Amino acid sequence: MGNIVAIVGRPNVGKSTFFNRLIQRREAIVDAVSGVTRDRHYGKSDWNGQTFSLIDTGGYVKGSDDVFEAEIDKQVELAIDEADAIIFMVDVESGITGMDEDVATLLRKIEKPVFLVVNKVDNAKRLENAVEFYSLGLGDYFPIASTSGSGTGELLDALIKALPELEDEEETELPRFAVVGRPNAGKSSFINALIGEDRYIVHDVAGTTRDSIDTKYDRFGFEFNLVDTAGIRRKSKVKEDLEFYSVMRSVRAIENSDVCLIILDATRGFDGQVQNIFWLAQRNRKGIVILVNKWDLLEDKETNTLKEYEKVIRREIEPFTDVPIVFISVLTKQRIFKAIETAVEVYKNRSKKIKTSELNERMLPIIEHYPPPAWKGKYVKIKFCMQLPTPQPQFAFFCNLPQYVREPYKRYLENKLREEFDFKGVPVSVYFRKK
């Protein structure tokens, strides 16, 4: 379970540049997934071996500055509620504005660590000018220049020191299934339908995470924790349709889970917000099951619309299309246990370990039959492969020229691994290493 750091501040102070700078080093290594940079407001960063999630709140506000005036208070309140530490960014060029003062007023009242960061300080004159920010009443500030990165080291050192110590997870390592999706898609009702009148329920465990309730559940002879983010309404007077709100709520639940059950409302479709949640789970390498709820409410369903609907979703989630999609109705309890059964299968797929001998026996002939295409006249020879000892499926293929293996071939091998060993619902990573 990780800490969450939120970056707040008015538009155009350089939040995104700073955000991109912090996640870049890491994303470049961790995130070798093609085409998954759709959602640039959430990422992971690490400093001196400590990893944290970073959320750029500014990225979620579309519209003009005056729209932003109304939204920024909500965003800051939400960040105060959900994050473990807050970076408040201001800009030395424009000095203190009324909007900065509003944000400072909200931040002065809270107990959490707040870091006042003065951006665009790239010469001695500006360093002098930054002194005026003391008047915001947030104590010391960090002068940085996010385009060149100067000053970020000191800031990160201080940030890491201030983050709360992570509690050790409880000994009972039960699998955790998180129910996520946008507001009103039926998350609470899904969980209530599972638990409500159900004698299988074991007992409630006080949520180990601050903002989700864990319910221990036993079904099909399989015990797991259901992580419900739906049931808690925070004190924030946040509009329900705020995209940022859903994503922020989902981040923690997703990071703390093994399998994500993404619920969507059939009448609204697989829209941008649900896609954000999907890519978030995919980037965190979690098992995924997509549940289409309220299917019974769709008018004019012919026999083939179910297939059509599924096709549309799979098109949206390319290239990671090997994901189970279950059509349910929470209201009539149709297929809700099928949903859990599917999640259990995905969990098992995610924790599957394949013997090195078996892996080579099955993969090497496939590679021999269709070797990597030559690149610049060089032939790649893959000699050996093994599964890496990670919580989710990652495979290393050892060869003479790893740098010449292109993306399409990587994807080909991933698909073959899926065919041979069944990793439905689980992101699989393939790496090439020098023998």
Q: At what angle do helices 15-30 and 152-162 cross, to 10 degrees?
A: 80
Contact 407/372 with Cβ under 8 angstroms?
no
Rounded to whole angstroms, how far apart are CA atoms 44 and 51?
A: 7
Q: Using CB atoms within 10 A of its CB, is residue 167 exposed (0-12), middle (13-18) or buried (19+)?
A: exposed
Phi, psi at 6, each rounded to 5°? -110, 140
Rounded to whole angstroms, how far apart are CA atoms 124 and 234?
A: 44
Report the binding-site residues: 9-16, 56-60, 119-122, 181-188, 228-232, 293-296
Cβ count near 237 (within 10 Å): 9
DSSP 402: G
Instruction: Give the CA distances from residue 57 to residues 88, 130, 211, 391, in Å, rounded to whole numbers and listed in that order.
Output: 11, 24, 19, 30
DSSP, collapsed to helix, strand or coil, labels residue 26 as helix
Burial 206-227 (b: 16+ CB within 10 A, else e): ebbbeebbbbebebeeeebbbb
Rounded to whole angstroms, how far apart are CA atoms 122 and 146?
A: 9
Rounded to whole angstroms, how far apart are CA atoms 245 and 82?
A: 10
Contacts of residue 362, Cβ cutoff 8 Å, sequence gap at least 6 = 420
Please give the full DSSP string across 255-319, using - where no structure is assigned.
HT-SEEEEEEETTT-S-HHHHHHHHHHHHTT-EEEEEEE-GGG-SS--TTHHHHHHHHHHHHTTT
Report the binding-site residues for GTP: 9-16, 56-60, 119-122, 181-188, 228-232, 293-296
Please give the full DSSP string across 159-208, using - where no structure is assigned.
HHHHSPPPPPPPS----EEEEEESTTSSHHHHHHHHHTT-TTEEEEE--S
Cβ count near 394 (within 10 Å): 15
Rounded to whole angstroms, how far apart are CA atoms 339 and 336?
A: 5
Contact 249/278 with Cβ under 8 angstroms?
no
